[in-house]
A and B are shown apart, each in its own frame.
Chain A
Amino acid sequence: MWDCIVIGGGLAGLIAGIRAAERGKKILIISKGLSSLSYSSGAIDIGDVGQLERQTDHPYSLLRQSVVRAGMDYFQKLFPNYQGSWGSTEIMLTPLGTPKETTLVSKMQNAGPLNNADIIVLVAPEGLKDFFPDIIKDSLEKNYPKARIIIYPFKISAFDAWYTLGKPVTGMEYANYWNTPSGIAEFKKLLISIHRKIADCRKNFKEIKKAVVSPELSSSWSKPLQDILAETPFPFIELTAFPPSANGHNLYCALTKKFKSLGGELLLGSEVEFVQCRGKIAEKAIVKSKVSSSAFAARSFVLATGGILGGGIEVTPDSAQETVMGLPLFIPSKWTNAQFLSEQPYTHTGVEVDNQLRPLDSKKEIVLNNVRIAGRMLAHYDPWSNNCAGGVSLATGWFAGENI
Chain B
Amino acid sequence: MTKYQVVIVGGGVTGAGILRDLSMRGISTLLLEQGDLAHGTSSRFHGLLHSGARYVVKDPESAVECIKENYILKKIANHCISDTRGWFVQTKVDPPEYIQQWLEGCRKTQIPVKEIPLAEALAKEPLMDKNVQRVFEVPDAAVDGFKLIWANVKSAKEYGGEYKTYHQVKKLILDNKRVAGVVVNNLLTGEELEIHCDMVINAAGGWAPYIAATAQIPLKVICDKGTLLAFNQRLCQRIINRLRPSDDGDILVPHETITILGTTSKIVDSPIENNPEEAEVKKLLEIGEDVIPTIKHCRIIRAFSGVRPLYQDAPLDSSEKKGRNVSRSFALIDHQLENGIDGFISIVGGKFTTYRLMAEKVSDMVAKKLGNTVPCRTASENLLPQFSKDIEKKAYQLLPNVPTEKMLQRLGGDAESLLKVIEKDPSKGQLLCECEMVTVAEVEKIAADDDTYNLADIRRKTRLGMGTCQGAFCAFRALPLLWKNKDKYDFLQELKTFLNQRWKGIRPVLWGEQLRETELTKAIYSSTLQIKE
Name A residues whose Cβ lies closer than 8 Å to a Cβ of B. 36, 39-41, 45, 94-96, 98, 100, 127, 130, 132, 134-135, 138, 163-168, 240, 242-243, 307-309, 311, 314-318, 335-336, 338-342, 344, 346-347, 383-385, 387, 389
Contact = CB atoms under 8 A, between A and B. Distances in A.
Nearest to A311: B516
Nearest to B297: A316
A331 to B, nearest CB: 11
B425 to A, nearest CB: 7
A311 to B, nearest CB: 8
A138 B480 CA distance: 12
Contact of A164 (B426, B503, B532, B533): B426
A226 to B, nearest CB: 25
A240 B528 contact: yes
Given A168-B430, A242-B524, A389-B527, A340 B500 contact: yes
Given A308-B516, A315-B515, A346 B510 contact: yes
Interface string B493-504: 000100110110
Given A130-B477, A308-B515, A341 B523 contact: no
Contacts of A387: 527
Contacts of A347: 519, 522
Contacts of A344: 522
Contacts of A318: 296
Contacts of A340: 499-500, 502-503, 522, 525
A127 B527 contact: no
Interface residues of B, number: 44
Contact of B511 (A138, A166, A316): A316
Chain B CB count within 10 A is highest, among A311, A314, A317, A387, for A317
A242 B472 CA distance: 11
Interface of B: 281-282, 285, 296-297, 422, 425-430, 476-477, 479-480, 483-484, 491, 496, 499-500, 502-503, 507, 510-512, 515-516, 519-520, 522-533
Nearest to A245: B528
Contacts of A98: 529-530
A390 to B, nearest CB: 10
B522 A339 contact: no
A17 B311 CA distance: 68
7 contacts: A96-B479, A138-B483, A166-B422, A166-B430, A167-B426, A340-B500, A346-B515
A317 B295 CA distance: 11
B426 A317 contact: no
Contact of A335 (B502, B510, B532): B510
A243 B528 contact: yes
A291 B245 CA distance: 50
B520 A385 contact: no
A240 B285 CA distance: 42
A317 B285 contact: yes
B524 A341 contact: no
A165 B524 CA distance: 29
A341 B530 contact: no
Contact of A166 (B427, B499, B516): B427
Nearest to B282: A317
B528 A242 contact: yes
B140 to A, nearest CB: 28
Contacts of B282: 317
Contacts of A315: 510-512, 515
A127 to B, nearest CB: 6
B285 A341 contact: no
A271 to B, nearest CB: 16
